[in-house]
Amino acid sequence: MDFESDDRRILERPIKQKVKSAETTLYTPQKQMFPRTSETSANKKKLLRGGLAERLNDLQNRERSAISLWRHQCVSYQKTLSGRKSGVLIVKILELHEECTIQVAMCEHLAGLQANSPSQGEVPRTGLKVLFTKETARHLKGHPQDIVHIYPPWQMLIAPSGSCPVILNTYFCQKVVAKEDSKIIHEVHCWDTALPRRSITLAQRFRFRNLTNISPESQVMYSGLTTRRTDCTHGHEEAKQCFPAQAPLRDSLLDAVESQGAAPWSGVGVRVVVQRVYCLPYRYQQGGGSAAPPDSDPPRVRGCLLVQDAYGMFSEVHSEVTILKDQQLEGKSCSLMGMKVLQKATRGRTAGLFSLIDTLWPPVMPLKAPGHGQACEKVKNHMPPPSFCYILTAHPNVGQIDIIEEDPVSKLYQPPVPRFLKEILQTNDLSTRCSFYARVIYQRPQQREIWLMVTDATLQMQDENNSGLPKTIPVCVAPSCVLSQEVLEALTEAVSHSFFFRDTVRAQGHIVCVERSVLLLQKPRLGVDSGAHSCELTGPVKLNELVSVTQVNSICSIQGTVIGVDESTAFSWPTCDMCGNERLELSPGDRDTFSCGDCSRVVTSPLLRKHLQVFLDCPSRPHCTVKVKLSQTSISSLLRFAACEDGSYEVKSVLGKEVGLLNCFVESITTHPASCIGLEEIELLSAGRASSEHCRLP
């Protein structure tokens, strides 16, 4: 078979017909000039006059100009072609992937292949394989289920092997979007994802059998290809055939990554153990950067698995949250197939990931060594912690995460070990991961993060005189920590709950829930003896007094004598006596009554709420100015006997009065130019049904 003559005939005919069609239907206006770029001018100076390179460069410039002009005059061009619909090829995209920077679309033929079409012959089946260049694909922005009109001079190539016909020269194409579906399609595809790339060798493409490499892996790859069907009536079938279902399982993640490269894993799977399951905020990769989708409510998250192979190599696998919710994968041995490498993570770039990996090192059992079939005890004792790992993602169509029952690699699983808060505070290892059970007694949402005040029995039962440890500790929930809907609903209740804080980070004076940290709500356990667990809170919660070591964003108790009132911030406002609405409006014609928009009624007896900040003389901080924003209950108690006949209050009537014991949140601490502490009186969460909950410790 003369491949050279066939290739020349196929290439010459598209170029001639494309230029001829472009010249007849598209022409440049006489007074319209297209500016030449500096790059084009520089190339023309370097090319030999009259040479092949110069002629090819001119042809490419004319081609780009014709395509650009056609896109600008697309409406008029469609009107011109309205009388000869036979030249327009109409296809429906079924599946998209990328091969060698060319976008390959498996399509269903709808209309356009007739006897007078620009191509010779007819399509024996309804399946088509349409090729788009990188520039055309970027302009088209096609997705599965889209209808595309391809205008002449397109060409059709029928391979001698009888596979799908291939449509070439698709420079003049347009996606057709119905008016009623334009909004839906825009919402679905407004955040494009990278297309799967396929690395297919020539031997695989043409099924050469006389290969010199007859290794078992090569034979497995070839056996998967020999079972592929040749008909292309449905594009999704070919996409699945590129990934054989019966892929051999390997023990090394590194071997799989090195053999497959950046392409999706084809014909290979890896046996791993799932060490952790968590969620991460979803980031879209566009133009080499990451961006969050606008107006995402609720924010999108992605499920992640931290897995480890038999050689000790770690990897983070990203998948859909719904897939992970249906399976209890943590601690199980699983097979990974149809994966793709997102990036190589190092300690310098992803310190948070490796802080979690360090808690799982060293392994609990001997690891396999390269070149050894069995596990080696020296590897367990002398192998340093990993310095890099790969972040993988499951292919949307063929990615599989299947549980393997009773696999030896599952013995590498290390569950989180909960510790007492007292033990955590007594260690000096900062920036390390820790897990614990604790009761949330107060929460304070900030601009971006949430501050939780937690405690357990070990902090509440300690001796106040010689321990030197706080009775409560702040926990900062960073925005990168994804909270489940169950946890968010529990935090909105005015009831104290017990949580399991897993893989948090110890910081100076507080604990931080960061990426890959997990909060789990602890359910009440019925039938458990009240004294069975040492971490149970048997009495009311106690707070530390305000002292010199008290930090910002913590809680404390305070008592003292009123020595001053901040009159500039003292005011009052009416509220609805039924629903508590604080935005009342004066009733027209009656200045003594208000109207409530929430209740839709006239409020004749509104409740008066007050804002009052006082300065206290505290015995625990004698040389410091302490300013406290009082609650409504404390304000009413303080002003109960200080009201004048006209309803006002005299400052001197509240001076010298004793206040306390108050539970306060520390808002600010300043030391210059003077020592001053800003507090706000708070109300701790009630125990309620949470008093019967118990923290489970080993």
Q: Would you say residue 287 lies in a domain?
A: yes
Report whether pLDDT(159) > 80. Answer: no
Q: Percent of the chain, pLDDT > 90?
A: 33
pLDDT digits (tens, 9 = 90+) for 4-30: 444 444 444 444 454 444 444 444 445
Q: Which two tokens stand for residue 658?
A: 């004793």
Report whether pLDDT(482) > 60. Answer: yes
Report whether pLDDT(613) > 50. Answer: yes
Average pLDDT over residues 122-133: 72
User: Predicted confidence band at 290 (pLDDT cuts at 50, 70, 90)?
Assistant: very low
Q: Would you say residue 274 lies in a domain?
A: yes
Q: Output 95 or 356, whichever has higher pLDDT.
A: 356
What pLDDT does 464 receive? 60
Average pLDDT over residues 131-144: 86
Average pLDDT over residues 273-296: 62
Average pLDDT over residues 325-335: 85
Distance in angstroms (rounded) separating the CA atoms of residues 105 and 84: 25
DSSP of 351-385, one letter per residue? HHHHHHHHTT-S-SSPEE-TT-SSEEHHHHHHPPP
pLDDT-wise least confident of 209-223, 274-288, 602-616: 209-223
Q: What CATH code is carried by the domain that includes residue 394?
A: 2.40.50.140
pLDDT-wise least confident of 126-140, 318-332, 385-399: 318-332
Find out whether 272 and 256 touch, Cβ atoms under 8 Å.
Answer: no
Distance in angstroms (rounded) separating the CA atoms of residues 153 and 141: 21
Q: Would you say residue 656 lies in a domain?
A: no
Report whether pLDDT(560) > 90. Answer: yes
What pLDDT does 646 receive? 67
- Which of 365-369, 404-408, 612-616 is most confident? 612-616
**Range of the structural domain that residue 293 is part of:** 249-412
Q: Output 189 or 427, whichever has higher pLDDT.
A: 427
What pLDDT does 182 receive? 44
Q: Percent of the chain, pLDDT > 70?
A: 69
pLDDT digits (tens, 9 = 90+) for 52-80: 888 888 888 888 888 887 777 765 545 44
- Which residues does 663 contact at the CB level (< 8 Å), separation at least 6? 543, 555, 556, 557, 681, 682, 683, 684
Q: Would you say residue 272 lies in a domain?
A: yes
Number of separate domains in the chain: 1
Q: Would you say residue 172 lies in a domain?
A: no
- Which residues does 113 contact at the CB level (< 8 Å), separation at least 6? 89, 119, 122, 123, 156
Can you tell me whether residue 653 is helix, strand or coil?
helix
Beta bridge mates, 367: 376
Q: Would you say residue 67 lies in a domain?
A: no
Average pLDDT over residues 159-178: 79
User: Predicted confidence band at 145 (pLDDT cuts at 50, 70, 90)?
Assistant: confident
User: Predicted confidence band at 625 (pLDDT cuts at 50, 70, 90)?
Assistant: very high
Mean pLDDT, the chain, rounded, equals 76
Report whether pLDDT(40) > 50. Answer: no
Average pLDDT over residues 308-324: 87
Q: How far is CA 404 from the centre of its chain?
A: 27
